[in-house]
């Protein structure tokens, strides 16, 4: 994943290539500007082993005074390998109002059963803004 605002997301360090992905060498949750180990962000889709739950149960608060899954994943990475995948699709920041709306519009337009009911009204809305 590539991000122009690395300080807003969890960022990974990139190691050697593994198939269509890469070994994750480090994870930093919301690094300060200019300190990110790469421009590959964590998009919030994981396949984790069940040990993560016992780690999270005792996890201290991290960035934003929140319990960060990334911090728990760092602890898990001390005993297990982590790999990332180069996702080549569109992503939307659903933590922001605009991203949430764009994700829903994109979802609706991609669905053959929903698109006919929203495409015309969306065009009309956009025309009305001109």
Domains and CATH numbers, the chain: 1-91 (3.90.550.10), 92-130 (no CATH)
Alpha-carbon span 25 to 55, nearest angstrom: 19
pLDDT of residue 21: 92
* pLDDT at residue number 7: 62
pLDDT at 3: 42
Q: Are 22 and 83 a contacting pair, CB within 8 Å?
A: yes
| Residues 60-93 pLDDT 10s | 887 778 888 888 898 999 999 899 998 888 888 8
* This prediction's pTM: 0.66
Mean pLDDT, residues 44-54 taken together? 90
């Amino acid at each position: 994943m590539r991000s122009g605002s690395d300080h807003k997301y969890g960022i990974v360090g990139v190691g050697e290539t593994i198939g269509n992905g890469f070994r994750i060498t480090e994870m930093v949750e919301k690094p300060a500007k200019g300190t990110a180990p790469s421009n590959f962000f964590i998009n919030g889709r994981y396949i984790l082993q069940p040990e993560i739950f016992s780690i999270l149960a005792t996890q201290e608060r991290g960035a934003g005074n929140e319990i960060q899954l990334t911090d728990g994943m760092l602890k898990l990475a001390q005993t297990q390998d982590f790999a990332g995948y180069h996702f080549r699709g569109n992503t939307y920041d659903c933590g922001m109002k605009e991203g949430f709306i764009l994700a829903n519009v994109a979802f609706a337009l991609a669905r053959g059963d929903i698109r006919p009911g929203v495409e015309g009204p969306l065009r009309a809305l956009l025309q009305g803004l001109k």
